[in-house]
Amino acid sequence: MDTASHITLAALGQQLLVGLSRTTILFIVSSGLSLILGVLRIPNVSHGSLYMIGAFVTYSVATFIGGQTGFWVALAVAPVAVGLLALAVERGIFCHLYEREHLMLLLFTFSLMLVLGDLVKMTWGSDYRSLSAPPMMQGSFSLGGMPFPRYNLFLLIMGPLVALGLWALTNKTKIGKIARAAAVDREMVAAMGINVSWVFAFVFCLGCLMAGLGGALVAPTQNITQGMDHAIIMEAFLIVIIGGLGNMWGALLGAAIFGITDSIGILVWPQFAIVFPYVAVTIVLVFRPKGLLKSTW
Amino acid sequence: MQNQKLISSRSLILMAVLLAALALFPSVASRYYIYLAALMLVTGLLASSLNMVLGFGGMYQFNHAVFYGVGAYAAALLTVRGGVSPWWGYLVGPLAAALLSLIMGIICVRLSKLYFGMLQISLGSLVWAVVFRWYSFTGGDDGLHGVPVPRLISSGEGAYYFVLIVSVLCLALMYLIVNSPFGRVFMSIRDNPERAEAIGVNVRLHQLIGLVIAGFFGGVAGTLFVTVEGTVFPDMLFWTLSLEIIIMCLLGGWFTFLGPMLGGAMVVALRAVVGTYTDYWTMVLGIILMLLIFFLPEGVLGFFLARLGRGRTAREEN
C-alpha cells in the first residue's frame, strides 16, 4: 500500500472531518433504528426506505419553494411527513403484529421496504436527483489549506444537537421515561394502566422521523437515488449492533467507527474503502458480540 | 418415529409421478419454459438449503445468499481465472461455500437468534463488499459473464436435466439428513435448546454442523445457477436476496420439507409473470408477503398439509 505515503496531515484532518459529518447522518438514522429496536424489539428493515423518502421529499419541497427558505421548510416538512407515514402504517397494520415472532416482524418490515421502494419509483421515477445546499451554506472555507464544505460544518453542529435533544426526550420527559420502562418490562408498564400500544406508536413514529431527518440532511450532500435505502439500512443495522442494541450513545459510537473508518479508508485504499467499515464491525463483534456498550434489551 | 417408514408409499407414488412429469417436461415445453423450470429448481434448492437451518434448526440465518454467491463465484473463478475444466467447479463451489460457512459459523454460533443473524449479516456484507470491489479478480460490480459450462450440459435442455438430477439428489440427501438421528437432535435444539443441552447434546457443535450442511447445499445451488445462466454477479451475495430466500421458505412453508422448494418456484414464477406486466414486481411480492404474514403464517404447503391433516409438518404443535 504505497498510496499511504502520499497522505498529508492536512488531508488526514480534512478526511476526518468529512468522516465526522458522515457520522452525523449515520448517527441520526441509526439512533432512530436503535430506538425502535430497543423499545419495540423490531428490526425495522424499512427504516432505510423512510430515509430515502425523507431525501426525496426534501428534494421536492426544496425545489418547489426554492431558494433559502425552500431548504429550511423542507428540512422541517420531510421528517414530519415521514413520521406521519410511519404512524399510519403502525396504526393501520403493524400494531396487530406485535405478538408474532421476531422473524415475522422482520419480514413484515422487509415487505414494507419492497412496497415503499416501488412507491418511490412510481412517484419520483428512476432517475437520480440532486439538490444543492442552501445558498448561505454553499461553498467551502479553508481549513489548514484544505477546503472544507460549509454544509458539512452545519452537519457537525446538527449531530450533537440531535443527540442532546433525543437524550432529553428519552430521559427528561414523561413519555420518554415510560418508553424506556416499556423497553425493560412492557407487561409491568401496561399493568400500571399506561396504554402501551400508544407508547409503541409514539416510539415507532419518532424513530422513523429520525430516518426522515437523516434523509433530509443528507439530501444536499449526495445524489438522491433509488437504492439509497439498501445502502443505509445495512450500515445502520451494523452501527446499532456494534453500539449495543437500543443504546443511543452506542449508536453514536458505532456511527463514528463506521464514518471514520470509511473516510480514512478512502484516503488509504480507495478501491476497498467500502470494505473497511465492515472489517471494523467484524473485529468489534468477534470480541464484543453484544456490542461495545450495554444493550437495553 | 423409530418404526415409522421414512416415506409413506402414498407420497412415494406422488413423488414418482412428479419426477416423471419433470423428466418429460423438456419434450413438451419451449426453450423459455425449460429455462424457467431450471431456474425454479435452482431457486427451490437454494431455499431448501436455507431451510435446513431456518425451519429445522430454528437459526436465523440472515445472509444465506452469501453461500449461494460464493459457491457460484468459486466455480466461475476456477474456470475463468484458473483455466481448469468447468466440471471441477461442481466440486469446488460447494466446498468453498461449506468452508466459508464453517468459518462464519465458528464466529457466530455462540450467539442466539437476532444477534446470530446480525453477526452473520455483518460477516456476509464483508464478503459481499470484497467481491463488489475486487474488479481485477471478481469483475467487481459487473460480475463475470459468459462463464464456461461443460459442453455436455451447456444446452438449455442439458442444463435442465443436470439441474434436475443434482437437485433431486441434494433434496434426497437433505431429506435423509433431516430424518437421521442428527436431524432429530437438530430439531430438538430448535424446539428447546436448554432441554437439549440438559440431556447432553452438544448444541453448538450440532448447530455448526447444520450451518456447514446448509452452506454446502447453498453452494451447490450457486454452481447450478452458473450452469443455467453462465454468469455471476455481486447481487447474488447481497442481503436483500438473503431475505428473499427467507420469504421463499415462509411462502412455501418453513416447517415442511418441500415447502421451500415450492416457495422458490413460486417466487421465480411470480417474477416472470408479474415482470411482463409491470415494472413494480417487488411491490407485488411485498404485498403478497404482507398478506401471507397475516393469513398464512405456516406457508402455502404448511397450510394445505395442516388442512389435509396428514403428512408430517416439521414442527409438531403441542
- Under an 8 A CB cutoff, do A97 and B118 touch? no
State the pTM of this model.
Answer: 0.89
Where helices occur in chain A by DSSP H, the ranges are 9-40, 47-65, 67-92, 102-124, 150-172, 174-184, 186-191, 196-218, 228-243, 248-268, 275-287
Q: Which of A103, A237, A278 sits opposite B60 (nearest CB)?
A: A103
| CA dihedral sign of residues B251, B234, B216, B40 | positive
Strands B231-232 and A140-143: unpaired
Measure B309 CA to nearest chain A CA, in Å.
24
pLDDT-derived band at B287 (thresholds 50, 70, 90) equals very high
With a cut of 70, say whether residue A6 has pLDDT above it. no
Q: Which of B170, B175, B209, B172 is nearest to B189 (CA)?
A: B209
pLDDT-derived band at B1 (thresholds 50, 70, 90) equals very low
What is the mean predicted confidence (pLDDT) over A123-131?
89
With a cut of 80, say whether residue A93 has pLDDT above it. yes
**pLDDT tens digits, B210-268:** 999 999 999 999 999 999 999 999 999 999 999 999 989 988 888 889 999 999 999 99
What is the mean predicted confidence (pLDDT) over B149-165?
90
pLDDT-derived band at B309 (thresholds 50, 70, 90) equals low
pLDDT of B5 reads 65
Which of A192 and B1 is assigned the larger pLDDT? A192
pLDDT of A187 reads 84
Q: Which of B110, B121, B289 sits opposite A237 (nearest CB)?
A: B121
Cβ-Cβ contacts under 8 Å for A252 (sequence gap 6 or more): A23, A27, A31, A163, A243
Residue ranges of chain B whose CB lies within 8 Å of a chain A CB = 60, 107, 110-111, 113-115, 118-119, 121-123, 125-126, 129-130, 132-135, 238-240, 243, 246-247, 250, 279-280, 282-283, 285-287, 289-290, 293-294, 297
Residue ranges of chain A whose CB lies within 8 Å of a chain B CB = 43, 45, 93, 96-97, 100, 102-104, 106-108, 110-115, 117-119, 121-122, 230, 234, 237-238, 241, 271-272, 274-275, 278-279, 281-282, 285-286, 289-290
- Under an 8 A CB cutoff, do B282 and A279 touch? no
Which residue of chain A comes nearest to B291, CA vs CA? A108
Could you tell me if A290 and A244 are in contact, meaning their C-beta atoms sit under 8 angstroms apart?
A: yes
**pLDDT tens digits, A128-156:** 898 888 888 888 887 777 788 889 889 99
**pLDDT tens digits, A99-108:** 888 788 888 9
A146 membership: H or E segment, kind and range:
strand A146-149
- Under an 8 A CB cutoff, do A230 and B240 touch? yes
Return the minimum-mean-pLDDT range out of A49-58, A200-209, B17-26: B17-26
Could you tell me if B148 and B86 are in contact, meaning their C-beta atoms sit under 8 angstroms apart?
A: yes
Instruction: List, as own/partner pairs, every contact residues B167-172 make where C-beta atoms lie below 8 angstroms and the sequence separation is at least 24, other chains included.
Output: B167/B41, B167/B42, B167/B44, B167/B45, B167/B224, B168/B19, B170/B45, B170/B48, B170/B49, B170/B217, B170/B220, B171/B45, B171/B48, B171/B258, B171/B261
Q: Which residues of A touch B114 (CB under 8 A)?
A: 43, 102
User: What span, in angstroms and rounded, lies between the C-alpha atoms of A91 and A88?
Assistant: 5
φ/ψ of B210, rounded to 5, equals: -60, -45
ipTM for the complex shown: 0.84
**pLDDT tens digits, A249-282:** 899 999 999 999 988 888 888 888 888 888 888 8
pLDDT-derived band at B4 (thresholds 50, 70, 90) equals low
User: What span, in angstroms and rounded, lies between the C-alpha atoms of A78 and A84?
Assistant: 10
- Under an 8 A CB cutoff, do B119 and A121 touch? no
Residue with cell 455471476: B232
Could you tell me if B161 and B19 are in contact, meaning their C-beta atoms sit under 8 angstroms apart?
A: no
Best of B103, B240, B279, B295 to mutate (most A CBs within 10 Å, chain A): B240
Q: Which of A223, A221, A19 is nearest to A133 (CA)?
A: A221
Measure B238 CA to nearest chain A CA, in Å.
10
With a cut of 50, say whether residue B318 has pLDDT above it. no
- Under an 8 A CB cutoff, do B125 and A122 touch? no
With a cut of 90, say whether residue A25 has pLDDT above it. yes
Q: Which of B126, B86, B180 is nearest to A234 (CA)?
A: B126
What is the mean predicted confidence (pLDDT) over B120-138?
89
Q: Which residues of A touch B129 (CB under 8 A)?
A: 272, 274-275, 278
**DSSP assigned state of A66:** -
C-alpha cell at B311: 403428512
Residue with cell 499511504: A4
